[in-house]
A and B are shown apart, each in its own frame.
Chain A
Amino acid sequence: MTELQQKTARANALDELLPPLTNNEAASEAARCLMCYDAPCTHACPTHIDIPKFIKKIATQNLRGSARTILESNLLGATCARVCPVQELCEGACVLGAEHKPIAIGRLQRYAMDFAYARGMDLFQSAKATEKKVAVIGAGPAGLSCAGELAKRGHSVTLFEKRDLAGGLSTYGIIGLREPVEVALAEVAMLTKLGIKIETGKELGTNLTMADLQGNFGAVFLSVGLGSTTTLGIPGEEHILDGLEYIEQSKLDANRLAVGRNVVVIGAGNTAIDCATIAKRLGANQVTMIYRRSEKEMTAYAHEYDFIKREGVRFSFLTQPVRVHVENGAVESLECKRMSLGPADASGRPFPQPVPGSEFLFVADQIVKATGQEKPSLASMLKVQTDKGFIQVNANFETSSPGVYAGGDCIRARGAASTVMAVQDGKLAARSIHERLVARG
Chain B
Amino acid sequence: MADLSINFAGIRSPNPFWLASAPPSNSGMQVHRAFEAGWGGAVWKTIGAPVLNVSNRYGAWHYGGQKMLAINNVELISDRPLEVNLREIAEVKRAWPDRAVIVSAMVESKPEAWHDIIRRIQDTGADGIELNYGCPHGMSERGMGSAVGQVPEYCEQITRWVMEVAKIPVIVKLTPNISDIVMPARAAVAAGANAISLINTLNSIIGVDLETLEITPNIGGKGGHGGYAGPAVKPIALNMLSALGRDPMVSGSKLPISGMGGISTWRDAAEFLLLGASSLQVCTAVMHYGFRIVEDLCDGLSNWMDEKGFARVSDVVGQSLHRVSDFNSFDLSFRAVARIDQQKCIRCNLCYVACNDTAHQCIDLIAKDGSVVQPQSYDIRANGKEEAVNSRPSVQVREEDCVGCRLCYNVCPVEDCIRMIEEPSGRMPVTWKQLSESQREVTEDWEKMKEYREKMGIHIH
A residues apposed to B, CB below 8 Å? 27-28, 31-32, 34-41, 43-44, 46, 48, 59, 88-90, 92-93, 95-96, 98-99, 421, 424, 428
| Residues of A close to B382: CB separation below 8 A | 43-44, 46, 48
| Residues of B close to A36: CB separation below 8 A | 347-350
B residues apposed to A, CB below 8 Å? 64-65, 346-350, 352-353, 365, 375-376, 378, 380-385, 387-389, 391-392, 413
| Residues of A close to B380: CB separation below 8 A | 48, 428
A31 touches B387 (CB 8 A): no
Question: 9 A-B residue contacts at CB 8 Å?
Answer: A34-B348, A36-B348, A39-B348, A40-B388, A40-B389, A43-B392, A46-B381, A48-B380, A98-B346
CA distance A428 to B379 in the complex (A): 12
| Residues of B close to A32: CB separation below 8 A | 65
Task: Pick the most buried of A27, A39, A88, A96: most chain B CB atoms within 10 A of its CB.
Answer: A39
B347 touches A95 (CB 8 A): yes
A40 touches B347 (CB 8 A): yes
B384 touches A37 (CB 8 A): no
B413 touches A44 (CB 8 A): no
A421 touches B65 (CB 8 A): no
CA distance A93 to B386 in the complex (A): 8
CA distance A59 to B66 in the complex (A): 12
Which of chain B's residues has its CB closest to A102's CB? Answer: B385
The 6 closest A-B pairs by CB, nearest first: A31-B65, A92-B385, A44-B388, A38-B375, A37-B353, A43-B388
Question: B383's contact among A46, A95, A96, A98, by CB below 8 Å, is which?
Answer: A46
CB distance from B407 to the nearest CB of A (A): 14
CA distance A31 to B69 in the complex (A): 15
| Residues of A close to B64: CB separation below 8 A | 31, 59
CA distance A43 to B378 in the complex (A): 8
CB distance from A299 to the nearest CB of B (A): 15
Q: Mostly helix, strand, loop or mixed at chain B's interface?
A: loop
| Residues of B close to A44: CB separation below 8 A | 382-385, 387-389
Known: A28-B65, A44-B388. A421 touches B350 (CB 8 A): no
| Residues of B close to A27: CB separation below 8 A | 65
Question: B413's contact among A34, A43, A98, A428, by CB below 8 Å, is which?
Answer: A34
| Residues of A close to B389: CB separation below 8 A | 40, 44, 92-93
| Residues of A close to B352: CB separation below 8 A | 37
Which of chain A's residues has its CB closest to B383's CB? Answer: A46
| Residues of B close to A46: CB separation below 8 A | 381-384
Known: A34-B413, A95-B346. A421 touches B383 (CB 8 A): yes
Besides A43-B378, A48-B382, A92-B385, 11 more A-B contacts (Cβ < 8 Å) are A28-B65, A31-B64, A32-B65, A43-B382, A44-B384, A46-B383, A89-B384, A95-B347, A421-B383, A424-B381, A424-B383
| Residues of A close to B388: CB separation below 8 A | 40-41, 43-44, 93
Q: Mostly helix, strand, loop or mixed at chain A's interface?
A: helix
CB distance from A58 to the nearest CB of B (A): 12
A37 touches B387 (CB 8 A): no
CB distance from B386 to the nearest CB of A (A): 8
CA distance A433 to B95 in the complex (A): 86
Which of chain A's residues has its CB closest to B377's CB? Answer: A38
A37 touches B65 (CB 8 A): no
CB distance from B98 to the nearest CB of A (A): 43
B375 touches A43 (CB 8 A): no
| Residues of B close to A88: CB separation below 8 A | 384-385
Task: Pick the most buried of A37, A41, A424: most chain B CB atoms within 10 A of its CB.
Answer: A37
| Residues of A close to B365: CB separation below 8 A | 38
| Residues of B close to A89: CB separation below 8 A | 383-385
CA distance A40 to B381 in the complex (A): 14
Which of chain B's residues has its CB closest to A95's CB? Answer: B346
A37 touches B375 (CB 8 A): yes
Which of chain A's residues has its CB closest to B382's CB? Answer: A43
CA distance A90 to B389 in the complex (A): 10
Known: A32-B65, A37-B375. A43 touches B387 (CB 8 A): yes
CB distance from A253 to the nearest CB of B (A): 36
| Residues of A close to B65: CB separation below 8 A | 27-28, 31-32, 59
Which of chain A's residues has its CB closest to B351's CB? Answer: A37
Task: Pick the most buried of A32, A34, A99: most chain B CB atoms within 10 A of its CB.
Answer: A34
Question: B350's contact among A34, A41, A424, by CB below 8 Å, is which?
Answer: A34
A93 touches B348 (CB 8 A): no
| Residues of B close to A424: CB separation below 8 A | 381, 383
CB distance from A75 to the nearest CB of B (A): 16
Question: B349's contact among A37, A98, A99, A421, by CB below 8 Å, is which?
Answer: A37
CA distance A41 to B382 in the complex (A): 11
Which of chain A's residues has its CB closest to B344's CB? Answer: A99
CB distance from A12 to the nearest CB of B (A): 34
CA distance A46 to B384 in the complex (A): 7
Known: A31-B64, A43-B378. A38 touches B349 (CB 8 A): yes
CB distance from A439 to the nearest CB of B (A): 20
Which of chain A's residues has its CB closest to B64's CB? Answer: A31
CA distance A125 to B347 in the complex (A): 37
Question: A93's contact among B349, B350, B375, B385, by CB below 8 Å, is which?
Answer: B385
Which of chain A's residues has its CB closest to B393's CB? Answer: A38
CB distance from B264 to the nearest CB of A (A): 19
CB distance from A45 to the nearest CB of B (A): 8
| Residues of A close to B383: CB separation below 8 A | 44, 46, 89, 421, 424
| Residues of B close to A43: CB separation below 8 A | 378, 382, 387-388, 391-392
| Residues of B close to A38: CB separation below 8 A | 349, 365, 375-376
CB distance from B361 to the nearest CB of A (A): 14
CB distance from B163 to the nearest CB of A (A): 51
CB distance from B225 to the nearest CB of A (A): 26
| Residues of A close to B350: CB separation below 8 A | 34-37
CA distance A38 to B377 in the complex (A): 9
CA distance A420 to B113 in the complex (A): 77
CA distance A39 to B376 in the complex (A): 9
Which of chain A's residues has its CB closest to B411's CB? Answer: A34
CA distance A28 to B387 in the complex (A): 29
CB distance from B350 to the nearest CB of A (A): 6
Task: Pick the most buried of A35, A95, A428: most chain B CB atoms within 10 A of its CB.
Answer: A95
Task: Pick the most buried of A36, A59, A424: most chain B CB atoms within 10 A of its CB.
Answer: A36
| Residues of B close to A35: CB separation below 8 A | 350
| Residues of B close to A96: CB separation below 8 A | 346
Task: Pick the most buried of A39, A40, A98, A99: most chain B CB atoms within 10 A of its CB.
Answer: A40
CA distance A40 to B393 in the complex (A): 10
CA distance A74 to B304 in the complex (A): 54
| Residues of B close to A59: CB separation below 8 A | 64-65
CB distance from A61 to the nearest CB of B (A): 9
CA distance A34 to B380 in the complex (A): 23
CA distance A59 to B62 in the complex (A): 12
CA distance A89 to B375 in the complex (A): 19
| Residues of A close to B384: CB separation below 8 A | 44, 46, 88-89, 92
